[in-house]
Structure 1
Amino acid sequence: MNAPSQPIPQEDTPKSGKMLSAMVGLGLLCALLIVSIYEGTSERRAFLKAEALEKAIFQVIPNTKKMEPMLIENGTLIPFDQKKQGLTRIYVGYNDEGNMSGYALECSGQGYADIIKILIGYDPKTETVVGFHVLESKETPGLGDKIEKDENFLANFIALDVSWDKEKKQLNNAVITVKNGEKNHPWEIDGITGATISSRAIGKIINDSMEKVNQ
């Protein structure tokens, strides 16, 4: 005689549902917490970013004691206006005597890993780039990030030729990056061995940005 069959235990559906609900609720709570922390620190991050930019401006324009943000419209400097969109922002530096010491210009372009954001100092009297600072970069550590600290590379920006033609329509010579040790002209950038793409990107960023200055 066969033994009576035992009933098959059923899943505790209500219990599983409660666990799933708890996990979803915990996930939402974590997401809200992350958003709250991000929004709560946004003002602080914006302040630090602005502070770093201001410090960099004084670094890339020699002998600057005061600076003023302005806009470029049709090749002419106009007072900065937040409402005016699509215009190039430029920072005008002044020395102790109140005379203009140069301009600082934010530039950006594609690097090897991501967008590279830089700040360059420009002397309109000599038509040269006289300062360089990397604002944001995600280039490869030990290779591409040498654009921020390699002394030989940074020496390119003491007097990089970005002079204009007589009509002020275009540069006399395009800024280009050459292989390390092959720089022969003042508008060339001596590249970094092992960081070819990153150093070439800097040349292109500067060239493209300077061409926009007089537009």
Structure 2
Amino acid sequence: MLDSLKHFARESWLLVVASVLCGLLLAATNAALGPRIEVNKALKLTSLAGGLLPSAQAFVPLSSPVEVKGLDGKTESAVVFKATADDTVVGWVFKVVGSGFADKIELVVAADASFSKLVGYDVVSSSETPGFGDQIKDAYYRNQFTGAPVGQLSLVGLGAAKEQDIDSTIVAISGATISSTAVVQAMNHYLPQLKDQLQQKGLIGHGNNP
């Protein structure tokens, strides 16, 4: 019995040491790769932004923080860029996060200079189901958002859209209601807050003019 206890203690000690070493290794790896991952994300975001606002010559991050409430109710700092061409504001680019079917959906969204209409969006990262939810990346779905009013989107099933609501109505992806809802919900949740923050900072007007 004593030998068994000694063996168990020795094996347990080795397991504890191995667990600690693995934890330290993972922490060191995350510390080393974390900044690089964030840089790559920022580069991807601005690259996608260029596709949404091709007239922009530069994407300038705002110097002061833009605080918004996340979907979980917690305050977070939004990533917002001012898109400019010849020192003129041509639009706004920002990142929003939705709660998808498989995991979080990170989107880069562009609005016009007055922040009254959407220019479009693209997907920064997503783990949605191939062939279903990942169709949020496809042009036929994304194009519905172009020209839509900020913060006034509604999601309907195929064939339910009314002609007078075509600008604000988004037709859901067949078989992927959760993913479709995640995109629309993220837009409606974050965009009015961002617009309000930009107005408070004097970066856009309170009407339809920048």
TM over 0.5: yes
1:158–1:62 CA distance, 2 compared to 1 (3 A): farther
Contact preservation (8 Å) 1:159, 1:186: yes
Contact preservation (8 Å) 1:89, 1:106: yes
The SS at the match of 2:96 is: strand
The SS at the match of 1:11 is: helix
Identity %: 24
For 1:75, the equivalent position in structure 2 comes to none
Q: Structure 1 residue 85: deviation in Å?
A: 5.2
More helix by share: 2
Q: Structure 1 residue 117: deviation in Å?
A: 2.3
- What is the TM-score when the length of structure 2 is the normalising length? 0.76
The SS at the match of 1:214 is: helix
For 2:10, the equivalent position in structure 1 comes to 18
Please tell me the residue identity of whatever aligns with 1:124. Answer: A
Please tell me the residue identity of whatever aligns with 2:178. Answer: I
Q: Distance in 2 between matches of 1:140 and 1:65?
A: 35
Unaligned runs of 5+ in 1: 1-8, 71-79, 163-170
Q: Structure 1 residue 147: deviation in Å?
A: 0.5
Deviations 1:45-96 (A, max 9, x none): 12111211221222222311111122xxxxxxxxx235x755655311112x
* Aligned-residue RMSD, C-alpha: 2.5
- Larger Rg computed on CA atoms: 1
- What is the TM-score when the length of structure 1 is the normalising length? 0.74
Q: Distance in 1 between matches of 2:115 and 2:21?
A: 58
Unaligned runs of 5+ in 2: 69-76, 198-210
Contact preservation (8 Å) 1:119, 1:132: yes
Please tell me the residue identity of whatever aligns with 2:149. Answer: D
Query: What count of residue pairs does the alignment treat as equivalent?
Result: 185
For 1:128, the equivalent position in structure 2 comes to 117
Q: Distance in 2 between matches of 1:177 and 1:119?
A: 20
